[in-house]
Amino acid sequence: MKKDDSQLASEIVIFGVLGDLSRRKLLPALYQLDLCGLLHSDSTIIGAARQDISGEDFTAFVMDNLTEFVGKGDSSSLDKEVTERFINRLNYQKLDFKDTSAYQSLESAFGNKDNSRVYYFSTPPAIYGDIGAGLSEANLINAKARVVMEKPIGHCLASSKVINDKVSKYFAEEQIYRIDHYLGKETVLNLLVLRFANSLFTNNWDRNCIDHVQITVAESVGIEGRWGFYDEAGQMRDMIQNHLLQILSLLAMEPPADLSADSIRAEKLKVIKALTPITRQNIKDKTVRGQYSDGFLNGIAVPGYLNEEGANTNSDTETFVAIKAEIDNWRWAGVPFYLRTGKRMPAKHSEIVVHFKAQAHNIFKDNYSDLPANKLTIRLQPDEGVELQMMNKIPGIANQMNIQENKLDLSFSDTYNNARVVDAYERLMLEVINGNQSLFVSRDEVEAAWTWADSIIEAWHATNEKPKAYAAGSWGPVSSISLIARDDRQWVE
């Protein structure tokens, strides 16, 4: 595609460029932006890591990963001209992140010193402070510099404060972009449009009209060789504290005054702060934690969590969590939000189901005694789309009021001619380059989310119970069914 230099020119520095996130997501995302003409011709990409590799080896590394993750294994499917242009933007810098005197070398790799600077910290959070110190020492942080921080930011409220404090020594809050990649997903962003561009939903989005909401983020993968990291985190820290709470807050927030970062983040924060605390007193009624055991996925035997390679066989880290969350405010009092997420579930399948209240009076009872309530399903991934379950008359003359439940289905792939679903990292990277923080998480949100999550984690420890086993390939422990069945409801499968 032709270049369009309406985007800002940037020096993009990826710290930890040889790592997994960079290979799978960041480099492919930048390539896609270049392909779409969204990287300024003057932008440079500098990869920094500890390893001593040559420029040629770095180019080969980038090519291998573009082939794998963009070309799906076929390098000839990459655009030749764009690939060449992209490779020409690259520069590799060996860097010991802890050696503050070494950072000066980065400057020589900058293409244009007037460009804005994007520092992407794709390293363990424990060294974010060191990188900030090194950049500051080398005088590389100016008003045009931005820093991108990957989750998890800390392990709990206290550790997240330590990390945020260290980074804030060098960067102002307006320069800090905390990534939650779910905020870059097409369908998550569409929640704003669905809620605030359609009066049908805007005006019916509260306790008077909605009975309850279910949010499911199921993954079929296990922990994919990340045992060490995952075992320290578990599904609560890895998914609920960030991704699920972000979805929940977008779903439940008050209408923001506009689309600015300040307005959106302020409204999301209010929701997270209004979550009813879950403590030792109510932990058993409100949550279920599970851990997958040996099972089958698509007919293939897969090992349980404790039998994964490198596993500590005594671990009681949870790989599944279900929570009945409640929001203590005027709009949502009495409306439960059931959250459910787990590894090694039957399929990769994420969706939100908003259950409206049933009709107060049924005039069709001769034909349909129990009118089902409307249900709005927002399919986050895969098969992105929105579906509204409603009652409809079956055409015909014999029985005047023969009615059935049917659906309006807006499938994104059908409606938009199978348009490629943009990866979240492409969108987020572009937003950083353009200096828009709306799709990033504020420090206050991170801290409010930890406050709520910490209380649950602390209560689990206090009960001293092991997570409930569920077979890999199933929808989680039986007790997660009871969690919702106690309220006379059931999960949508």
For residues 180 and 447, which CB has a smaller minimum distance to ligand BG6 in the complex? 180
For residues 218 and 264, which CB has a smaller minimum distance to ligand BG6 in the complex? 218
Q: Which of 34, 211, 231, 238 binds ligand BG6 (CB under 6 A)?
A: 238
For residues 55 and 310, which CB has a smaller minimum distance to ligand BG6 in the complex? 310
Answer whether the bond into residue 152 is a cis peptide, omega within 30°. Answer: yes
How many residues touch ligand BG6 under the rule CB under 6 A: the total is 2
- Residue 360's contacts (CB-CB under 8 Å, 6 or more residues apart) are none
Using the Cα atoms of residue 278, residue 279, residue 284 and residue 289 in order, give the sign of their dihedral.
positive
CB 48 to ligand BG6: min, Å: 22
- Helix residue ranges, H only, 218-367: 227-235, 245-252, 261-273, 283-286
For residues 231 and 238, which CB has a smaller minimum distance to ligand BG6 in the complex? 238
Distance CA 308, CA 51 (A): 29
- Picking from 231, 217, 120, the residue whose alpha carbon sits closest to that of residue 176 is 120
**Residue whose structure tokens are 């209240």:** 357
Distance CA 100, CA 137 (A): 7
CB 17 to ligand BG6: min, Å: 19
> Minimal CB distance to ligand BG6: which residue?
238
CB 350 to ligand BG6: min, Å: 6
CB 457 to ligand BG6: min, Å: 17
By CB under 6 A, residue 423 contacts ligand BG6: no
Distance CA 16, CA 23 (A): 10
- Is 181 a known active-site residue? no
By CB under 6 A, residue 231 contacts ligand BG6: no
By CB under 6 A, residue 326 contacts ligand BG6: no
CB 425 within 8 A of CB 25: yes
For residues 182 and 470, which CB has a smaller minimum distance to ligand BG6 in the complex? 182
CB 349 to ligand BG6: min, Å: 10
Catalytic residue, chosen from 40, 181, 212, 243, is 243
By CB under 6 A, residue 351 contacts ligand BG6: no
For residues 134 and 304, which CB has a smaller minimum distance to ligand BG6 in the complex? 304
Report DSSP state, residue 441.
B
For residues 332 and 450, which CB has a smaller minimum distance to ligand BG6 in the complex? 450
CB 72 to ligand BG6: min, Å: 17
Answer whether the bond into residue 255 is a cis peptide, omega within 30°. Answer: no
Conformation bin of residue 218: beta by default, left when phi > 0, alpha when psi is -120 to 50: beta
Interaction mask 198-227, ligand BG6, x per CB under 6 A: ---------------------x--------
Interaction mask 65-84, ligand BG6, x per CB under 6 A: --------------------
- Picking from 298, 152, 171, 297, the residue whose alpha carbon sits closest to that of residue 234 is 152
Conformation bin of residue 199: beta by default, left when phi > 0, alpha when psi is -120 to 50: alpha
By CB under 6 A, residue 150 contacts ligand BG6: no
In 357-462, beta strands by DSSP E: 375-381, 385-393, 403-411
By CB under 6 A, residue 308 contacts ligand BG6: no
CB 105 to ligand BG6: min, Å: 32
101 CB-contact burial (10 Å; exposed 0-12 / middle 13-18 / buried 19+): exposed
Active site residues: 243
Binding site for ligand BG6 (CB under 6 A): 219, 238
